[in-house]
Amino acid sequence: MASHLQLKNTSEDLIVHDRRTFLSNAAVAAALATTGGGATLLNAMNATAATSSARRPFKLRYAPHFGMFEAHAGPDLIAQLEFMASEGFTAIEDNELMSRPVAVQERIGAALGRLGMTMGVFVIDAGDNWKPSLTTGRAEFRDRFLRACRAAVEVAKRVNARWATVVPGFFDRSLPIGLQTAHVIDALRAAAEILEPHNLTMVLEPLSDTPELFLRTSDQAFAICRAVNSPACKILYDMYHMQRNEGDIIANIDRTWSEIAYFQIGDNPGRKEPGTGEMNYRNIFRHIHSKGFDGILGMEHGNAQPGKAGERAVIDAYVAADSF
């Protein structure tokens, strides 16, 4: 892995680096071949070539999360970032970023800059995402949410993040759905005023975890984004959740395309890597790519198998799904 930690920031540097490595290895191989050591070295060179090929140019910007490759890289977050970069990933997402100490956020930001990687979403957590909150229209929830948005701006600056996940909370069963929707729109408009000047976009995520959640479908998120009417309020289209709640993934992506800023991935059933469930991610990725999407697709799923073998299976699954 050590050679991977010296990744260059430009393709030209990488080509020069690989050419020098090849010429050097070839020269040594020729010398050792005359002394009987050629077979051993050639085997080693083949292994090196296989490792180097891992710096693959994915067609889309897939973003793993911390812990996904811990068996390979160990518990240190920066070592995990370096491993991701060595495998060709150019982005990461971190739902827990806001809860990390400032020094850790700054360390992550510095590493991302050095590795040429982009931070994907982190969660704007107001502490009440999983109960009736913004739907109620109550000032205490709205004020708490807006404080979290202000804090999120500072977090985003440390890692150069552009997207942050927002979950409006649960239904308020005491109010008509129209009033709940209006309350959510009002809160999001106020949040957009905070985020937009800093080029930070909140992405609304329809979820399938429980029917109590207010935001559950892509068309609902689309209507809310249109009502908020700000570049700071868009859709996070999590394909695992949308497969469970509404299906017809490609058609619904097209219907809501103008408001989608971010995707997340997970096969269904199981919420593991592509190829472990019923979804044809190769076709879905091909379609997203054909529409010119240059944003991030977060790998918000678990590994189907444990350990290094399971982590390698995740990488292989993305290689296969990306080979359209």
Work out the pLDDT band at 20, boundaries 50, 70, 90. very low
Considering the domain architecture, whether residues 138 and 100 belong to the same structural domain is answered as yes
How many domains would you assign to the chain? 2
How confident is the model at residue 55, as a pLDDT? 61
Overall average pLDDT of the 173-178 stretch:
97
How confident is the model at residue 188, as a pLDDT? 98
How confident is the model at residue 47, as a pLDDT? 39
Overall average pLDDT of the 40-57 stretch:
44
Work out the pLDDT band at 11, boundaries 50, 70, 90. very low
- Mean of all residue pLDDT scores within the chain: 87
Q: For the chain, what is the HEC assignment?
A: CHHHHHCCCCHHHHHHHHHHHHHHHHHHHHHHHCCCCHHHHHHHHHHHHHHHCCCCCCCCEEECECCCCHHHHCCCHHHHHHHHHHCCCCEEECCCHHHCCHHHHHHHHHHHHHHCCEECCEECCCCCCCCECHHHCCHHHHHHHHHHHHHHHHHHHHHCCCEEEECCCECCCCCCHHHHHHHHHHHHHHHHHHHHHHCCEEEECCCCCCCCECCCCHHHHHHHHHHHCCCCEEEEEEHHHHHHHCCCHHHHHHHCHHHEEEEECCCCCCCCCCCCCCCCHHHHHHHHHHCCCCCEEECCCCCCCCHHHHHHHHHHHHHHHCCC
Q: What is the pLDDT of residues 227-239, one digit of tens each?
A: 999 999 999 999 9
- Domain residues for the domain of 31 are 1-53
Q: What is the pLDDT of residues 199-211, one digit of tens each?
A: 999 999 999 999 9
Considering the domain architecture, whether residues 129 and 11 belong to the same structural domain is answered as no
> How many alpha carbons lie under 13 Å from residue 288 in its C-beta half-sphere?
29
Looking at 35, 53, 71, the residue that finishes a domain is 53
CA separation for the pair 160, 157 (Å, rounded): 5
Domain CATH code at residue 275: 3.20.20.150
pTM of the full structure: 0.83
Considering the domain architecture, whether residues 68 and 154 belong to the same structural domain is answered as yes
Overall average pLDDT of the 181-204 stretch:
98
Considering the domain architecture, whether residues 151 and 224 belong to the same structural domain is answered as yes
Considering the domain architecture, whether residues 2 and 128 belong to the same structural domain is answered as no
Closest CA to 273 of 304, 309, 236: 304
How confident is the model at residue 10, as a pLDDT? 34
How confident is the model at residue 208, as a pLDDT? 98
pLDDT surpasses 70 at 276: yes
Looking at 38, 53, 68, the residue that finishes a domain is 53
Considering the domain architecture, whether residues 91 and 76 belong to the same structural domain is answered as yes
Considering the domain architecture, whether residues 80 and 127 belong to the same structural domain is answered as yes
pLDDT surpasses 80 at 29: no
pLDDT surpasses 50 at 142: yes
Q: What is the pLDDT of residues 67-78, one digit of tens each?
A: 999 999 999 999
pLDDT surpasses 60 at 317: yes
CA separation for the pair 290, 246 (Å, rounded): 23
pLDDT surpasses 60 at 90: yes
Considering the domain architecture, whether residues 262 and 201 belong to the same structural domain is answered as yes
Start-to-end CA span in the chain (Å): 28
Considering the domain architecture, whether residues 96 and 239 belong to the same structural domain is answered as yes
How confident is the model at residue 26, as a pLDDT? 40
Which residue do the tokens 């008509």 mark?
Answer: 176
Overall average pLDDT of the 64-69 stretch:
98
Question: Is residue 19 within 8 Å of residue 101, measured between CB atoms?
Answer: no
Which residue do the tokens 């890692």 mark?
Answer: 159
Work out the pLDDT band at 56, boundaries 50, 70, 90. confident
Q: What is the pLDDT of residues 96-106, one digit of tens each?
A: 999 999 999 99
